């Protein structure tokens, strides 16, 4: 198992925020990244559709012989994590639990949660947070325009600033002390969000905690790659590889040599 790659999937480039955290924590691990760009966004789809797409993505990664799958998408994690955990023989990690854990650790009582319409209507974060601390007040808001803005690479764009103000200032006014970025695309906008709502509101992004969880699972199974050489990464998308490469490079601040087409 040690030399096998970790599989990561999202609907698009959002999962790169989790991929980056995985590589920061485990540089010797190889990864296979899949962005289902042909069927993005997931956040406006039904539970049944999201489960179906997630299963197809997982199957693609299984064919690449991954040792563990990270569902680097909150919309998929909200609906498909238990389903895939029951179905597959390898560990499957979602991003909701780690995000909720991180939020509860820092909040003094009022947490904002933003995500896609699918994630917010699933109430997955509310359930996960309340389970850990029933006294916390949670205010949720879906922000469906963030994903297309990020996919378009409009990060420091005036339109994006207006959309952030529209979605997030009402949460600030309600006195939240932390804000869960419950969609893996949103951490790409972290600086712009903090500039608008203020640095005193802590932004919670599940990437780092998810990477820690993956690390401890691999360590417990003795599946970590001990080769001490930089892991290799393969990137796949179901459509528009060039656009993924361009926006992905802006976010990762490095070259992505090759993005291949995945026939899911």
Could you tell me which stretch among 26-34, 153-161, 177-185, 189-197 binds ligand DGL (CB under 6 A)?
177-185
* Binding of ligand DGL by 98 (CB under 6 A): no
Task: Specify the residue, 31 or 116, whose C-beta has the smaller distance to ligand DGL.
Answer: 116
Under rule CB under 6 A, which residues in 245-264 are in contact with ligand DGL? none
Applying CB under 6 A, the span of 7-15, 49-57, 99-107, 162-170 interacting with ligand DGL comes to 7-15
Near ligand DGL by CB under 6 A: residue from 41, 91, 187, 241: 41
In which residue are the tokens 């390898």 written? 90
CA angle 208, 214, 216 (to 5 degrees): 105
The tokens describing 252, both together, are: 């990762």
Q: Catalytic: 73?
A: yes
Region of 9 please: left (phi>0), alpha (psi -120 to 50) or beta.
beta
The CA distances from residue 260 to 40, 41, 60, 235, 244, in Å, are 17, 20, 13, 6, 10
75 interacts with ligand DGL by CB under 6 A: yes
- Given candidates 5, 14, 91, 248, which one binds ligand DGL under the rule CB under 6 A? 14
Among 42, 60, 240, 251, binds ligand DGL (CB under 6 A): 42
Three-state secondary structure readout of 81-96: HHHHHHHCCCCEECCH
Question: Segment 180-219, which members bind ligand DGL (CB under 6 A)?
Answer: 183-185
Q: Does 122 bind ligand DGL (CB under 6 A)?
A: no
Which residue reads 């997982």 in tokens? Answer: 58
Q: Which of the following is catalytic: 73, 149, 176, 256?
A: 73
* C-beta closer to ligand DGL: residue 40 or 111: 40
Smallest distance, ligand DGL to C-beta of residue 184, A: 4
Phi and psi angles of residue 192, each rounded to the nearest 5 degrees, phi first: -65, -40
Question: Whole-angstrom Cα distance, residue 67 to residue 238?
Answer: 22
Catalytic residue among 183, 203, 204, 214: 183
Q: For residues 11 and 238, which CB has a smaller minimum distance to ligand DGL in the complex?
A: 11
- Identify the residue among 30, 37, 57, 74 touching ligand DGL (CB under 6 A): 74
By CB under 6 A, tell whether 11 contacts ligand DGL: yes
DSSP string, 93-156: E-SHHHHHHHHHHH-SSEEEEEE-HHHHHHTHHHHHHHHH-TT-EEEEEE-TTHHHHHHTT-SS
Neighbours of 74 (CB within 10 A): 33
Q: Which residues bind ligand DGL (CB under 6 A)?
A: 10-12, 14, 40-43, 73-75, 116, 119, 147, 183-185
- Kindly list the catalytic residues: 73, 183
């Amino acid at each position: 198992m040690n030399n096998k790659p970790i599989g990561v999937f999202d609907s698009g480039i959002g999962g790169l925020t989790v991929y980056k955290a995985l590589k920061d924590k485990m540089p010797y691990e190889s990864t296979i990244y899949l962005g289902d760009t042909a069927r993005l966004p997931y956040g406006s789809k039904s539970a049944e559709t999201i489960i179906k797409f997630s299963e197809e993505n997982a199957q693609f990664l299984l064919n690449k012989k991954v040792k563990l799958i990270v569902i680097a998408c909150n919309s998929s994690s909200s609906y498909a994590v238990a389903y895939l955990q029951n179905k597959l023989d390898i560990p499957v990690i979602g991003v909701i639990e780690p995000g909720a854990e991180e939020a509860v650790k820092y909040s003094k009582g009022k947490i904002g949660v933003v995500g896609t319409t699918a994630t917010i209507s699933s109430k997955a974060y509310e359930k996960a947070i309340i389970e850990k601390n029933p006294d916390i007040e949670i205010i949720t808001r879906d922000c469906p325009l963030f994903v297309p803005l990020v996919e378009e690479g409009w990060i420091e764009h005036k339109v994006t600033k207006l959309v952030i103000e529209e979605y997030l200032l009402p949460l600030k006014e309600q006195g939240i002390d932390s804000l869960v970025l419950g969609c893996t695309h949103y951490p790409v906008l972290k600086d712009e969000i903090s500039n608008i709502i203020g640095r005193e509101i802590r932004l919670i992004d599940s990437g780092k905690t998810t990477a820690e969880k993956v690390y401890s699972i691999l360590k417990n199974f003795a599946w970590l790659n001990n080769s001490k050489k930089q892991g290799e990464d393969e990137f796949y998308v179901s459509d528009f590889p060039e656009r993924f490469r361009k926006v992905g490079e802006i976010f990762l601040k490095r070259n992505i040599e090759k993005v291949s087409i995945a026939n899911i």
